[in-house]
Amino acid sequence: MKRNQRYRNPLKVDSMVGSVLVILTLGAVGSAYVYMKNRHVKTGDAIHAIESEIRDIDKEVQMLRTRLAEAEALPNLERRLAEAGSVLSEIDPGRVVEISPHTGGGEVAMTVVQP
């Protein structure tokens, strides 16, 4: 009688195979999710690093533009030219001639600026 109870509820191979397939499928889906999430985070970190680098470069460009504007300011240029012993002199506004672009007609327009 004990022998009959032993085979009374046998394990069904179909249900075990189905369970293993479900577990493997869930594992594969979970692994794919984790892989995609990690890839997403790495891409976000790379984007953040590049944006930070762009901000740093923008700050450096602004600083260089400020330094260039200061160096090109008229008082600084005059001082640096005097220090360098330049032979350049002031421009007389009465000697300035403005020439407008040729319009295609027979005459060339020219204006003399008076002080």
0.85 exceeded by pTM: no
Residue the block writes with tokens 């790379």: 46
CA angle at 46 for the pair 40 and 47, rounded to the nearest 5°: 90
pLDDT digits (tens, 9 = 90+) for 16-71: 898 999 999 999 999 999 999 999 999 999 999 999 999 999 999 999 999 888 87
Q: What's the total number of domains in the chain?
A: 1
Amino acid identity at 76:
N
Q: What pLDDT shows up at residue 100?
A: 74
* Residue span of the structural domain in which 81 resides: 2-112
CA distance 108 to 110: 6
Amino acid identity at 40:
H
Q: Percent of the chain, pLDDT > 70?
A: 78
CA distance 9 to 14: 14
Q: Percent of the chain, pLDDT > 90?
A: 42
Residue 85 region by backbone torsions, left for phi larger than 0, else alpha for psi between -120 and 50, else beta: left
Q: What pLDDT shows up at residue 105?
A: 62
Q: What pLDDT shows up at residue 37?
A: 97
